[in-house]
């Protein structure tokens, strides 16, 4: 078979590329991407032309089944280069454009990529790994709570996640996504990237996450859907009433959404926040369809369309759908179910998360922490999630995070809020009398977060020795 024939066969077998071809036929002249910073607008046909330019640049490199580290900023070029890389058969490894050298070194060590794509150009790397045929992309988890993990996906799995999201959340090509999430992140791949490439949902790339900038750009470009994180919602409602018209759908994921924040956001904007729960291994899992679960805080939503959820005997959550990585990931439990997702499509895969859950009478998913967060300190078994929940329930505490240091058997807890450390310690002493002085508490104005919006436990651990922090023992 000739190289050109192999390329055509490869493209025809990738649902993501097939979806893109269908989008071009159906809505080629329509708007695809707007850069809010410059006002530049690109149609789907123009995005295709950019992809062809990228194909020419990539042609000298043999990339079929080879990993490519992909570090471009959000924008039309990110999407065009992604299309070109997939046509070349490359396995895309998306990282933040500003990812530190350590993250690149981790990607090279774990994934052995052959090429790196940045704004500065193409850089040949020494990796020689060939991935399994059909692998389209590898997510490299942030490692904010442990070692980074590589999770491979096929184009079909990425499309299945996007299809579940569009069906469940009720948006499509007639909407306009407002893109603040970095495209390289799992949340953005499912809510922004794959919906545009495979289903023709356009987007506007926001220029900054400042509240007044978001409000102005949403109004100027008539954005209707905002997938975001609680930290951005907090900023938007902190100053009181703010207009986000014509937004009709606000989605929150990547970190817990408190009922207090959901309420304050509703009071400031008149918009309900729809909680979205997912994982890097499985894509979307559950969704708050009417926005009321976020206000009540009783669950994170019900199973998404195309997703089946089961509570295992040990309380962990098992997720089954066509979007689950059929390769699994380091540290997880994956299996193929043998059931057909639909006629002609791949078998469903199932993945068992560390999250411990229960279900409400209406099918709502209630998260009770993670099975891997139960520790034994000074002879006492303790669920760190329970410690966080008790702290967050204290007056003047917005959010808390706890972690365990085996060396010295220390429990470290940091929180955001106005409550004084002494008051928090008193509340925890009453709830957990056996912990004694092994519990250290710190008050912070803002908990450090990763670019994905999650609390950065590594940063907290690194900074714990700062004596100016006000940490105190119980």
Cβ-proximal residues to 136 (8 Å cutoff; 6+ apart), any chain = 14, 16, 86, 91, 92, 153, 154, 155, 158
CA-nearest of 428, 455, 453, 427 to 439 is: 428
Residue 345: per-residue pLDDT? 44
Average model confidence (pLDDT) across the chain: 89
Residue 326: per-residue pLDDT? 86
Average pLDDT over residues 3-31: 91
- What whole-number percentage of the chain has pLDDT above 90? 69
H helices of 206-354, in order, are: 211-221, 230-238, 259-269, 292-296
The domains located in the chain, with CATH, are: 3-303 (3.40.50.12780), 378-473 (3.30.300.30)
Is the pLDDT at 386 greater than 90, yes or no?
no
For residue 272, the surrounding DSSP H or E stretch is none
Express each pLDDT in 310-330 by its tens digit. Answer: 999 999 999 999 999 987 543
Is the pLDDT at 292 greater than 50, yes or no?
yes
Is the pLDDT at 344 greater than 80, yes or no?
no
Residue 369: per-residue pLDDT? 80
- What whole-number percentage of the chain has pLDDT above 70? 91
Express each pLDDT in 392-430 by its tens digit. Answer: 889 999 889 998 887 777 889 999 999 999 999 999 988
Residue 331: per-residue pLDDT? 37
Average pLDDT over residues 365-375: 83
HSE-up of 277 (CA within 13 Å, CB side)? Answer: 26
Express each pLDDT in 240-283 by its tens digit. Answer: 899 999 999 999 999 889 899 999 999 999 999 999 999 999 99
Is the pLDDT at 73 greater than 50, yes or no?
yes
Overall residue count recorded for the chain in this entry? 474
Is the pLDDT at 84 greater than 70, yes or no?
yes
Residue 338: per-residue pLDDT? 37
Residue 474: per-residue pLDDT? 47
Is the pLDDT at 224 greater than 80, yes or no?
yes
pLDDT band, residue 217 (cuts 50/70/90): very high
Are the beta carbons of 160 and 153 closer than 8 angstroms?
no
Is the pLDDT at 46 greater than 70, yes or no?
yes
Are the beta carbons of 191 and 197 closer than 8 angstroms?
no
pLDDT band, residue 143 (cuts 50/70/90): low
DSSP states of 376-435 as a string? EETTEEEEHHHHHHHHHTSTTEEEEEEEEETTTTEEEEEEEES--HHHHHHHHHHH-TT-
Express each pLDDT in 85-94 by its tens digit. Answer: 999 999 999 9
Which neighbouring-strand residues pair with 413? Answer: 402, 441
Residue 452: per-residue pLDDT? 65
Express each pLDDT in 148-178 by its tens digit. Answer: 789 999 999 999 999 999 999 999 999 999 9
316-330, 337-351, 453-467: segment of lowest average pLDDT: 337-351
């Amino acid at each position: 078979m000739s190289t050109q024939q192999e390329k055509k066969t490869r493209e025809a077998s990738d649902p993501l590329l097939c979806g893109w071809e269908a989008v071009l036929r159906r809505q080629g002249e329509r708007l695809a991407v707007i850069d809010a910073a410059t006002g530049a607008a690109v149609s789907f046909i123009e995005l295709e032309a950019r992809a062809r330019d990228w194909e020419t640049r990539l042609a000298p490199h043999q990339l079929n089944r080879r990993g490519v580290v992909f570090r471009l900023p959000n924008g039309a070029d990110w999407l065009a280069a992604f299309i070109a890389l997939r046509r070349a058969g490359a396995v895309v490894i998306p990282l933040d454009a500003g990812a530190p050298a350590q993250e690149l070194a981790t990607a090279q060590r774990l994934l052995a990529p052959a090429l790196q794509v940045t704004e500065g150009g193409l850089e040949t790397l020494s990796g020689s790994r060939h991935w399994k045929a059909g692998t389209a992309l590898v997510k490299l988890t942030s490692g904010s709570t442990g070692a980074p993990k590589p999770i491979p996906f096929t184009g079909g799995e990425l499309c299945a996640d996007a299809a579940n999201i569009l069906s469940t959340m009720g948006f499509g090509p007639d909407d306009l996504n407002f893109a603040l999430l970095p495209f390289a992140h799992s949340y953005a791949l499912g809510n922004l990237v794959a919906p545009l490439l495979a289903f023709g949902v356009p987007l506007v790339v926001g220029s900054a996450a400042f509240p007044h900038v978001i409000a102005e750009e949403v109004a100027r470009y008539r954005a209707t859907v905002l997938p975001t994180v609680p930290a951005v919602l907090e900023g938007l409602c902190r100053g009181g009433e703010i207009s986000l018209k014509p937004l009709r759908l606000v989605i929150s994921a990547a970190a817990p959404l408190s009922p207090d924040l959901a309420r304050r956001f509703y009071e400031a904007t008149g918009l309900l926040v729809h909680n979205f729960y997912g994982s890097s291994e499985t894509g979307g899992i559950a969704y708050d369809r009417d926005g009321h679960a976020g206000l009540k805080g009783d669950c994170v939503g019900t199973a998404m369309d195309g997703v089946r959820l089961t509570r295992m005997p040990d309380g962990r959550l098992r997720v089954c759908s066509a979007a689950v990585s059929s390769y699994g990931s380091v540290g997880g439990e994956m299996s193929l179910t043998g059931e057909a997702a639909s006629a002609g499509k791949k078998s469903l895969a199932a993945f068992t998360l560390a999250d411990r859950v229960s279900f409400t009478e209406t099918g709502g998913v209630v998260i009770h922490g993670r099975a891997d967060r139960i520790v034994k300190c000074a002879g006492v078994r303790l669920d760190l999630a329970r410690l966080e929940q008790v702290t967050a329930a204290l007056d003047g505490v917005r959010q808390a995070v706890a972690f365990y240091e085996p060396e010295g058997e220390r429990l470290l807890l940091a929180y955001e809020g106005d409550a004084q450390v002494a008051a928090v310690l008193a509340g925890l002493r009453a709830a957990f009398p056996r912990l004694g002085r092994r519990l250290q508490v710190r008050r912070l104005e803002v908990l450090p977060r990763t670019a994905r919006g999650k609390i950065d436990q590594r940063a907290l651990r690194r900074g714990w020795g700062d004596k100016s922090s006000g940490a105190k023992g119980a």
